[in-house]
Amino acid sequence: MLINVPQFINNKMCTLPSDAEKLQAQLINNIKKKEVSYVDFEGATDIISRFINIALGQLLEKVSENDFDDFIIIDYEGLDPDDAVIIKRALANAKEYYRNIEILKPLEKELFEEMDSNVQ
């Protein structure tokens, strides 16, 4: 399935969390059906990392990295080089994070607890 993101979310600006959640839900649905998603950002005027983190990065919390790699193909052709870097960096960071989540979760919890105690 070809998903042109600006057309799919009906917005040339890939900035809204609600739009990112909509894209993520479609991608999950496609993966469950074992359908490859070709994700195309042609026509996008703005792409922010938060959008990519929600739409694609957090997807790795719900599907395996193998399924992600097998069923999601990002079309970088025609993308502004800065936008391509944002997407590639966000995906690399998310993959690394979810590969190491068992180690990172307790550290995050400890850090947040320490921050909370310093605020009070």
CA angle 3, 9, 15 (to 5 degrees): 110
Determine if the pTM surpasses 0.85: no
* CA 27 to each of CA 24, 68, 106: distance values in angstroms, whole numbers, following the listed order: 5, 9, 29
pLDDT < 70: residue spans in the chain: 103-112, 118-120
Quick one: pLDDT at residue 62?
94
Proportion of the chain in helix, strand, coil states, percent, rounded to 5? 65, 10, 20
